[in-house]
């Protein structure tokens, strides 16, 4: 039923799909089911953990990874904004030391916040603007709306889709 995929130009995508640069040592086997047109790979890492990934996992993981990265960046921006609100004026070095973020990431967050008119530079460091209080007042409500939207996107039972 299943057979090991033969090496060909069409398998280049499969090889990239199964490649895992984060794992130090993997043994990858690519299986293709001709009946269901599904390709997958099985990886065994140095701790003998077995990972099974399908092509659909790759797509989903890429979408979710992008979302997670955006959420992480938003978290950093908001953490920097909170520090400015609580300790204005505050400089990059102090923020970097207190948050553990590298200077370049703090600097980027400050630039994003400045472009949104939430902070402005001063000779002593970053300070809030007139728009900051309004943004903070609306923030919790906006985040709740986003959480509700994400909750509504959940697919509770895969059986409903297949049926």
Q: Does residue 89 share a domain with residue 29?
A: no
Query: What whole-number distance in Å separates Cα of residue 41 and Cα of residue 20?
Result: 11
Written as one string, the DSSP assignment of 47-90 is T--EEEEEHHHHHHHHHHHHHHHHHHHHHHHHHHHHHHHHHSSB
Asked if 38 and 73 sit in the same domain, the reply is no
The per-residue pLDDT for range 66-120, each reduced to its tens digit, is: 888 999 999 999 999 999 999 999 999 999 999 999 999 999 999 999 999 999 9
Q: Are residues 77 and 148 in the same domain?
A: yes
Paired tokens of 59: 């797509």
Please indicate, yes or no, if residue 159 is contained in any of the structural domains: no
Q: Is residue 18 part of a domain?
A: yes
- pLDDT tens digits along 108-160: 999 999 999 999 999 999 999 999 999 999 999 999 999 999 888 887 755 45
- Strand pairing partners for 127? 120
| Shared-domain flag, residues 41 and 79 | no
Structurally, how many domains does the chain consist of? 2
Q: What is the per-residue pLDDT for 66?
A: 87
pTM: 0.60
Do residue 41 and residue 82 come from a single domain?
A: no
105, two tokens = 């990431």
Place of tokens 């990934």: 53
Is 98 found in the same domain as 38?
no
């Amino acid at each position: 039923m299943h057979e090991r995929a033969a090496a060909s130009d069409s398998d280049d995508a499969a090889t990239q799909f199964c490649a895992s640069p984060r794992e130090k040592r993997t043994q990858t086997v690519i299986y293709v089911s001709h009946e269901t047109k599904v390709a997958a790979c099985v990886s065994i890492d140095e701790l003998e953990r077995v990972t099974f990934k399908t092509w659909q996992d790759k797509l989903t993981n890429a979408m979710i990874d992008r979302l997670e990265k955006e959420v992480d960046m938003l978290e950093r921006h908001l953490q920097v904004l909170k520090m400015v609100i609580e300790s204005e004026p505050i400089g990059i070095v102090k923020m970097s030391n207190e948050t553990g973020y590298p200077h370049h990431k703090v600097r980027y967050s400050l630039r994003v916040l400045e472009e949104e008119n939430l902070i402005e530079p001063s000779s002593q460091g970053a300070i809030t603007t007139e728009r900051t209080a309004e943004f903070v007042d609306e923030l919790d409500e906006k985040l709740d709306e986003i959480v509700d939207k994400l909750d509504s996107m959940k697919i509770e039972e895969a059986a409903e889709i297949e049926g």
